[in-house]
């Protein structure tokens, strides 16, 4: 992979935002793969259509994050706009997760997802500098 001049001149925060987006995107796909393989998706039995739409939305979010991260790391001109969109999509995912885990009383998962939201907003803002 050759490095473009735009990628060389990026700030460390833009590169960090790219790495963060790729890691979170891969993690989202890995988590859903694990949950589906182990059969640990209880809502899939009670409301399968809604759950499959939910999973599809999160996979699209993951793919957008990975593409945006790759674009930021390579200096692609479209990457910043996609990164803002993907970060917004991630915030929707996080809001849903906070509500889901909060309803079940899992405080540590709520804290973890809130931390993820703070990082997502931080990198979305800093990647634009």
Contact 5, 118 (CB under 8 A): no
Q: Which pLDDT score is estimated for 6?
A: 62
Contact 106, 122 (CB under 8 A): no
- Of 97 and 3, the one with more pLDDT: 97
49-56 contacts, C-beta under 8 A, 24 or more apart:
54/96
pLDDT at 1 over 80: no
Q: What angle do CA 31, 36, 40 make, to 5 degrees?
A: 90
pLDDT reported for residue 9: 67
The domain locations on the chain are 10-126
Per residue in 12-62, pLDDT (tens digit) is 889 999 999 999 999 999 999 999 999 999 889 999 999 999 999 999 999
Residue 69's nearest CA partner among 123, 18, 33 is: 18
Q: What is the pLDDT of residue 42?
A: 81
Token pair 């999509």 is found at 89
d(CA 50, CA 116): 24
pTM of this structure: 0.89
Q: What is the pLDDT of residues 77-93, one digit of tens each?
A: 999 999 999 999 999 99
Radius of gyration of the chain (CA): 16
């Amino acid at each position: 992979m050759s490095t473009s001049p735009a990628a060389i001149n990026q700030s460390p925060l833009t590169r960090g935002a790219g790495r963060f987006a790729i890691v979170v995107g891969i993690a989202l796909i890995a988590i859903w793969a694990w949950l589906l393989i182990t059969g640990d998706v209880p809502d899939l039995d009670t409301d399968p259509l809604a759950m499959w739409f939910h999973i599809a939305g999160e996979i699209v979010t993951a793919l957008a994050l990975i593409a945006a991260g790759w674009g930021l790391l390579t200096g692609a001109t479209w990457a910043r706009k996609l990164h803002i969109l993907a970060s917004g999509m991630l915030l929707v995912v996080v809001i849903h997760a906070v509500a889901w885990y909060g309803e079940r009383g899992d405080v540590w998962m709520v804290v973890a997802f809130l931390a993820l939201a703070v990082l997502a907003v931080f990198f979305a803002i800093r990647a634009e500098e």
